[in-house]
Amino acid sequence: MENVGNIFYFDWEVDLLNFFQDMRSPVLDFFMSNVTKLGNGGIFWIILTLILIAVPKKRKIGWQALISIVFSFIFCNLILKPEIMRARPCWIMPEVSLLVHSPSDFSFPSGHSNASFAVATAILSRDKKIGIPALVLAAIIAISRLYLFVHWPTDVIAGICTGSVGGAVSYFLIDFIYKKIAEKGRKTL
Protein backbone atom coordinates (compact mmCIF):
# COMPACT_ATOMS: atom_id res chain seq x y z
CA MET A 1 0.00 0.00 0.00
CA GLU A 2 1.30 3.37 -0.96
CA ASN A 3 -0.63 5.49 1.53
CA VAL A 4 -1.75 3.49 4.55
CA GLY A 5 -3.15 6.53 6.35
CA ASN A 6 -2.18 8.10 9.64
CA ILE A 7 -0.05 5.89 11.85
CA PHE A 8 -0.62 6.55 15.52
CA TYR A 9 -1.17 4.18 18.41
CA PHE A 10 -0.30 3.69 22.06
CA ASP A 11 2.17 1.09 23.33
CA TRP A 12 -0.55 -0.56 25.40
CA GLU A 13 -2.56 -1.10 22.23
CA VAL A 14 0.24 -3.14 20.68
CA ASP A 15 0.58 -5.07 23.95
CA LEU A 16 -3.14 -5.88 23.98
CA LEU A 17 -3.14 -6.93 20.33
CA ASN A 18 -0.12 -9.16 21.03
CA PHE A 19 -1.98 -10.64 24.00
CA PHE A 20 -4.79 -11.67 21.66
CA GLN A 21 -2.29 -13.05 19.16
CA ASP A 22 -0.76 -15.18 21.93
CA MET A 23 -4.22 -16.63 22.65
CA ARG A 24 -4.74 -17.87 19.10
CA SER A 25 -5.92 -21.45 18.72
CA PRO A 26 -7.81 -23.33 16.00
CA VAL A 27 -11.06 -23.16 17.99
CA LEU A 28 -10.79 -19.42 18.70
CA ASP A 29 -9.61 -18.74 15.15
CA PHE A 30 -12.73 -20.45 13.78
CA PHE A 31 -15.07 -18.79 16.28
CA MET A 32 -13.69 -15.25 15.97
CA SER A 33 -13.40 -15.28 12.18
CA ASN A 34 -17.03 -16.41 11.96
CA VAL A 35 -18.55 -14.21 14.66
CA THR A 36 -16.96 -11.14 13.08
CA LYS A 37 -18.87 -11.92 9.86
CA LEU A 38 -22.09 -11.07 11.70
CA GLY A 39 -20.86 -7.48 11.77
CA ASN A 40 -19.74 -7.33 8.12
CA GLY A 41 -21.68 -4.46 6.60
CA GLY A 42 -23.87 -4.53 9.71
CA ILE A 43 -25.79 -7.34 7.99
CA PHE A 44 -26.85 -9.24 11.13
CA TRP A 45 -28.00 -6.02 12.79
CA ILE A 46 -29.87 -4.88 9.69
CA ILE A 47 -31.69 -8.22 9.43
CA LEU A 48 -32.51 -8.14 13.16
CA THR A 49 -33.81 -4.57 12.78
CA LEU A 50 -36.06 -5.57 9.87
CA ILE A 51 -37.40 -8.52 11.86
CA LEU A 52 -38.17 -6.23 14.80
CA ILE A 53 -39.97 -3.77 12.49
CA ALA A 54 -42.03 -6.65 11.06
CA VAL A 55 -43.21 -7.82 14.52
CA PRO A 56 -45.99 -5.46 15.67
CA LYS A 57 -45.13 -5.72 19.40
CA LYS A 58 -41.45 -4.98 18.68
CA ARG A 59 -41.95 -2.40 15.92
CA LYS A 60 -40.99 0.62 18.05
CA ILE A 61 -37.72 -1.12 18.99
CA GLY A 62 -37.13 -1.89 15.32
CA TRP A 63 -37.62 1.71 14.21
CA GLN A 64 -35.34 2.85 17.01
CA ALA A 65 -32.70 0.33 15.95
CA LEU A 66 -32.99 1.55 12.35
CA ILE A 67 -32.48 5.16 13.38
CA SER A 68 -29.49 4.18 15.53
CA ILE A 69 -27.75 2.19 12.81
CA VAL A 70 -28.29 4.88 10.16
CA PHE A 71 -27.04 7.63 12.50
CA SER A 72 -24.05 5.53 13.53
CA PHE A 73 -23.17 4.57 9.94
CA ILE A 74 -23.18 8.21 8.83
CA PHE A 75 -21.13 9.40 11.80
CA CYS A 76 -18.65 6.52 11.77
CA ASN A 77 -18.19 5.59 8.12
CA LEU A 78 -18.92 8.84 6.30
CA ILE A 79 -17.52 11.40 8.74
CA LEU A 80 -14.94 9.99 11.19
CA LYS A 81 -13.15 7.30 9.16
CA PRO A 82 -12.40 9.50 6.11
CA GLU A 83 -11.49 12.47 8.31
CA ILE A 84 -9.14 10.65 10.71
CA MET A 85 -7.72 8.18 8.15
CA ARG A 86 -6.10 5.93 10.76
CA ALA A 87 -4.05 3.01 9.48
CA ARG A 88 -5.07 -0.44 10.63
CA PRO A 89 -2.62 -2.52 12.68
CA CYS A 90 -2.56 -5.18 9.95
CA TRP A 91 -1.42 -2.56 7.42
CA ILE A 92 1.59 -1.44 9.42
CA MET A 93 2.48 -4.85 10.89
CA PRO A 94 1.96 -7.15 7.91
CA GLU A 95 4.03 -9.91 9.52
CA VAL A 96 0.95 -10.91 11.55
CA SER A 97 -1.01 -13.48 9.57
CA LEU A 98 -4.66 -12.57 9.18
CA LEU A 99 -7.59 -14.95 9.40
CA VAL A 100 -9.79 -12.57 7.40
CA HIS A 101 -9.18 -10.36 4.39
CA SER A 102 -7.45 -7.11 5.23
CA PRO A 103 -10.12 -4.38 5.22
CA SER A 104 -9.62 -1.60 2.69
CA ASP A 105 -11.21 1.26 4.66
CA PHE A 106 -9.60 3.16 7.50
CA SER A 107 -9.55 1.94 11.07
CA PHE A 108 -10.97 4.59 13.40
CA PRO A 109 -13.57 3.97 14.72
CA SER A 110 -14.49 0.30 14.37
CA GLY A 111 -17.57 0.05 12.17
CA HIS A 112 -18.35 -3.45 13.44
CA SER A 113 -18.32 -2.20 17.04
CA ASN A 114 -20.22 0.94 16.11
CA ALA A 115 -23.11 -0.82 14.35
CA SER A 116 -23.26 -3.62 16.92
CA PHE A 117 -23.48 -1.30 19.91
CA ALA A 118 -25.85 1.11 18.16
CA VAL A 119 -28.46 -1.60 17.65
CA ALA A 120 -27.75 -3.46 20.90
CA THR A 121 -28.12 -0.23 22.91
CA ALA A 122 -31.32 0.65 21.08
CA ILE A 123 -32.79 -2.78 21.84
CA LEU A 124 -31.56 -2.82 25.45
CA SER A 125 -33.19 0.55 26.15
CA ARG A 126 -36.63 -0.93 25.36
CA ASP A 127 -36.37 -4.66 26.06
CA LYS A 128 -33.78 -6.17 28.40
CA LYS A 129 -34.83 -9.74 27.55
CA ILE A 130 -33.48 -9.44 23.99
CA GLY A 131 -31.24 -6.46 24.69
CA ILE A 132 -28.84 -8.26 27.01
CA PRO A 133 -28.06 -11.07 24.52
CA ALA A 134 -27.71 -8.41 21.80
CA LEU A 135 -25.22 -6.54 23.99
CA VAL A 136 -23.24 -9.70 24.70
CA LEU A 137 -23.07 -10.46 20.97
CA ALA A 138 -22.01 -6.86 20.27
CA ALA A 139 -19.18 -7.21 22.80
CA ILE A 140 -18.00 -10.48 21.26
CA ILE A 141 -18.01 -8.93 17.78
CA ALA A 142 -16.00 -5.98 19.12
CA ILE A 143 -13.44 -8.30 20.74
CA SER A 144 -13.20 -10.30 17.51
CA ARG A 145 -11.86 -7.21 15.74
CA LEU A 146 -8.91 -7.16 18.14
CA TYR A 147 -8.35 -10.89 18.00
CA LEU A 148 -8.31 -10.72 14.20
CA PHE A 149 -5.75 -7.88 14.29
CA VAL A 150 -7.79 -5.53 12.09
CA HIS A 151 -8.43 -2.78 14.68
CA TRP A 152 -6.61 -0.97 17.42
CA PRO A 153 -8.22 -1.15 20.87
CA THR A 154 -9.01 2.58 20.76
CA ASP A 155 -10.85 2.00 17.44
CA VAL A 156 -13.06 -0.53 19.19
CA ILE A 157 -13.58 1.70 22.24
CA ALA A 158 -14.55 4.61 19.99
CA GLY A 159 -16.88 2.35 18.01
CA ILE A 160 -18.55 1.19 21.22
CA CYS A 161 -18.96 4.78 22.41
CA THR A 162 -20.26 6.22 19.13
CA GLY A 163 -22.60 3.28 18.64
CA SER A 164 -23.94 3.52 22.19
CA VAL A 165 -24.54 7.25 21.74
CA GLY A 166 -26.40 6.50 18.49
CA GLY A 167 -28.55 3.97 20.33
CA ALA A 168 -29.26 6.44 23.15
CA VAL A 169 -30.07 9.34 20.81
CA SER A 170 -32.42 7.10 18.84
CA TYR A 171 -34.35 6.37 22.07
CA PHE A 172 -35.30 10.01 22.48
CA LEU A 173 -35.83 10.58 18.78
CA ILE A 174 -38.25 7.66 18.35
CA ASP A 175 -40.19 8.79 21.44
CA PHE A 176 -40.45 12.27 19.92
CA ILE A 177 -41.63 10.84 16.58
CA TYR A 178 -44.21 8.57 18.23
CA LYS A 179 -45.47 11.48 20.36
CA LYS A 180 -45.91 13.69 17.27
CA ILE A 181 -47.74 10.89 15.47
CA ALA A 182 -50.05 10.40 18.48
CA GLU A 183 -50.74 14.16 18.68
CA LYS A 184 -51.96 14.07 15.08
CA GLY A 185 -54.26 11.19 15.97
CA ARG A 186 -52.58 8.73 13.64
CA LYS A 187 -51.62 5.18 14.26
CA THR A 188 -47.99 4.67 15.17
CA LEU A 189 -45.38 3.50 12.71
- Per the structure, how many domains does the chain have? 1
Q: What pLDDT band is residue 188 in, cutting at 50, 70 and 90?
A: low
Q: What pLDDT band is residue 3 in, cutting at 50, 70 and 90?
A: low
Please report whether residue 10 resides in a domain. Answer: no
Please report whether residue 47 resides in a domain. Answer: yes
List, in sequence order, every residue forming a beta bridge with 6; answer none if it has no partner.
86
The per-residue pLDDT for 1 is 41
The per-residue pLDDT for 143 is 98
Residue 37's H or E segment, with its range, is none
Using DSSP's 3-state secondary structure scheme, residue 153 falls into helix
Please report whether residue 12 resides in a domain. Answer: no
Please report whether residue 3 resides in a domain. Answer: no
CATH number at 128 reads 1.10.606.20
Q: What is the pLDDT of residues 89-125, one digit of tens each?
A: 999 998 999 999 999 899 999 999 999 999 999 999 9
Please report whether residue 176 resides in a domain. Answer: yes
Please report whether residue 22 resides in a domain. Answer: no
Peptide bond into 109 cis (omega under 30): yes
Please report whether residue 95 resides in a domain. Answer: yes
What residue type is assigned to position 166 of the chain? Answer: G
**Is residue 185 predicted with pLDDT exceeding 80?**
no
The per-residue pLDDT for 2 is 46
Contacts of 40 (CB under 8 A, 6+ apart): 112
**172-181 average pLDDT score:** 90
Please report whether residue 143 resides in a domain. Answer: yes
Q: What is the pTM of this model?
A: 0.90
* Burial class of residue 174, CB neighbours in 10 A (0-12, 13-18, 19+): buried
Domain hosting residue 66, numbered range: 28-183
The per-residue pLDDT for 187 is 66
Question: Is the separation of the CB atoms in 182 and 68 below 8 Å?
Answer: no
**114-143 average pLDDT score:** 97
